[in-house]
Amino acid sequence: MPRILLIDDDEHLAAPLTTYFARFGCTLESAVRPSEGLAKLRAGTYDAAILDVMLPEMDGFALCREIRKESDIPIVMLTARGEVMDRVVGLELGADDYVPKPFEPRELVARVQTILRRQRSVPQAAANGTQHRVFDGLSIDLDRRQVLRHGERVELTGTEFELLALLAAEPGKVFSRDDILNRLRGHEAELYTRAVDIVVSRLRKKLEPLDCIKTLRNAGYALAVARSEPA
């Protein structure tokens, strides 16, 4: 049963959401303060975290940044006003998705379920059936969801890993933003292009000094690095 942590200072929100998530086979636990939430994340094993933007002690953005220092757990941000900038900032900090308030509980459950399915799924292998892709300076183990850059492990969020796996499935092929969004998740129209660009930017930064993701203007993105045989 997936275990989810909600960090939101609205004490009236946790009880109904806990009941609702249970209907869909998920255990929801809650914390009203970021310090309490961080302590729970460090002490236990959770499959995803839901963070409100407006929190005491530190806002949801700062909390997301703190979590990302220690964990690649999937994160869904709750944006109080549904503002585009809130969503952009959350994505830039490493959030995997966002849900604007007010929201229907079923939508939140659906977003979390989508992320969990993506985390559990193994990306489709190439025609030869291998789950290990090796390029010059870059190794991608699809079974273990592990990425090595020049032999050093690179910590990626689930969204970043899925993006890299998609590009690595067909090196050199240009994937449009729509292709990428269909693989990763659905966003509201005004953030379609921006969401993809943010995730690509995060991934590029983590893969430095490798320069293996190329942008083709008005077309999309491609993995441009020579493939080599596994050792």
- Residue-wise pLDDT for 77-104, tens only, equals 998 765 677 777 888 888 888 888 888 9
Please provide the DSSP assignment of 17-60 as one string: HHHHHHHTT-EEEEESSHHHHHHHHHHS--SEEEEESS-SSS-H
Q: What is the pLDDT of residue 97?
A: 86
Annotated domain spans of the chain: 3-120, 132-223
Q: What percent of the chain has pLDDT over 70?
A: 87
Q: Which two tokens stand for residue 148?
A: 């090595």
Confidence of residue 125 (pLDDT cuts 50, 70, 90): very low
Q: Which of 37-46, 76-85, 94-103, 107-116 has the lowest mean pLDDT?
A: 76-85
> What pLDDT sits at residue 124?
46
Which pLDDT value is given to residue 140? 93
- How large is the average pLDDT for residues 28-33? 96
Task: State the pLDDT at residue 41.
Answer: 96
Contacts of 9 (CB under 8 A, 6+ apart): 32, 33, 52, 54, 55, 56
Average of per-residue pLDDT values in the chain: 85
Class of domain 3-120: alpha beta
Model confidence over 191-224: pLDDT tens digits?
Answer: 556 778 888 999 999 999 999 999 988 889 999 9
By the 8 A CB rule, do 91 and 75 touch? no
SS3 of 131-196: the string is: CEEEECCEEEECCCCEEEECCEEECCCHHHHHHHHHHHHCCCCCECHHHHHHHHCCCCHHHHHHHH
The answer on pLDDT for 14 being more than 80 is: yes
Q: What is the pLDDT of residue 130?
A: 55
- Say yes or no to pLDDT of 24 above 80: yes
Structure confidence at residue 231 (pLDDT): 45
pLDDT: which is higher, 189 or 228: 228
pTM across the whole model: 0.72
Give the residue-averaged pLDDT of 48-55. 94
- Supply the pLDDT for residue 203: 94
For 132-223, CATH gives 1.10.10.10
pLDDT band at 190 (very low <50, low <70, confident <90, very high): very low
